[in-house]
Amino acid sequence: FSELRSEARRKQGQMRSALRRLPAGRPRGHSFVPPQEKWRSLQDAVRSRFPSTSVAVESYASSYASMSKQSPYMVAGATSCVVLTSADVACQLVVQPGEAYDARRTLGLALFGLGYYGGPCKLLYLGLDRVLGTKATLRNVLLKTFLDVFAHTPFGVIPSFYVVTNAVKGVPLADTVAQLRREWLTAVKGSFLFWLPAQLVNFALVPQHSKMAYVSGLSFAHKLWLSYLANRDAYEARRRHAESTTGDQRVAADEARGLLEEKKNDETLLTNLKATTTTTTETKKNTRAALLTDSWRGRISHFLATCD
């Protein structure tokens, strides 16, 4: 027992000395693993499981990162333009099918992605890194997420989206303002629920050169929903008009079908009447001929009897 106790004390002393040699600022113990180390371990696991695919993806990501560092605004705008264009095409063909494709609507989203995400949005992200720093501390992540989700999105992204897309579609500014007042609260609530967890991950793990690619990728789902919301009333109005027009056409077709049936019945009745009239005429002619024949027979018989 004494040997076991001395061995346990020796191992406890070794553990304490190892903990003292840990770098300053690192939490002591084995339960805490920083998010960056978890991300690197996940990358290593994916590389070992899919080596060829990982090489291709890393090559593409490296090229994208170098281009983004050289031309941050242009790459951010082009990425968002492609993603938002795809989002509206999917919305029109899958979510709101049944009518002619609206190219001006898609052009509005493309220009919004190119101009806004490649301009003010990218400028905001670079400015947050300059002011607050690039280190992903808990304070920086929470503060950047709060500013982006609760200030930038409701008062920057959503109003700009409505103004730009409606301007391309030819909607007057007064109608755009009225629509924004009706739908702003719904758009803000949905954006809060979508972007709050997404931006926590963005500011904690995603490097600056890939932030717009990350945001644009998630914007496919967000802008698909926002495009549906912004065009929902017009789509429903056109659908109801088409249904009412179809209903009127159906009623008119039923009336025309009824008139045709009446016409056929009248023609049948007229044909029967003509046939009856013809039969009656023939019967009258035959009766008259029989009467004349009987009359002449009687006269001839009377003449012969007189002669006798």
Task: Read off the pLDDT of residues 28-86 as tens digits, 9 standing for 90 and up.
Answer: 444 445 555 655 666 667 666 766 666 666 677 778 778 888 888 999 899 889 988 98
Choice among 85-94, 271-280, 293-302 with the minimum mean pLDDT: 293-302
User: 122 phi and psi, to 5 degrees?
Assistant: -65, -40
Q: Please count the residues of the chain.
A: 308
| Dist. CA 116–CA 79, nearest whole Å | 12
| Dist. CA 241–CA 207, nearest whole Å | 49
Higher pLDDT, 165 or 40: 165
Q: Which of 157, 161, 162 is nearest to 177 (CA)?
A: 162
Please tell me whether residue 307 adopts helix, strand or coil conformation.
helix
- Whether residue 188 contacts residue 147, with contact meaning beta carbons closer than 8 Å, is answered with no
| Dist. CA 191–CA 39, nearest whole Å | 26
Helices (H) and strands (E) in the chain, counts: 11, 0
Choice among 3-7, 53-57, 115-119, 143-147 with the minimum mean pLDDT: 53-57
| Dist. CA 256–CA 258, nearest whole Å | 5
| Dist. CA 227–CA 57, nearest whole Å | 30
Which residues does 123 contact at the CB level (< 8 Å), separation at least 6? 73
Task: Answer yes or no: is pLDDT of 19 > 70.
Answer: no
| Dist. CA 35–CA 201, nearest whole Å | 10
pLDDT grade, residue 255 (50/70/90)? confident
Q: Tell me, what's the pLDDT at 93?
A: 86
Higher pLDDT, 268 or 251: 268
Q: Tell me, what's the pLDDT at 30?
A: 46
Q: Tell me, what's the pLDDT at 28?
A: 47
Higher pLDDT, 56 or 3: 3
Q: What is the pLDDT of residues 109-137, one digit of tens each?
A: 999 999 998 999 999 989 998 998 888 88
Q: Which two tokens stand for residue 128?
A: 């947050």
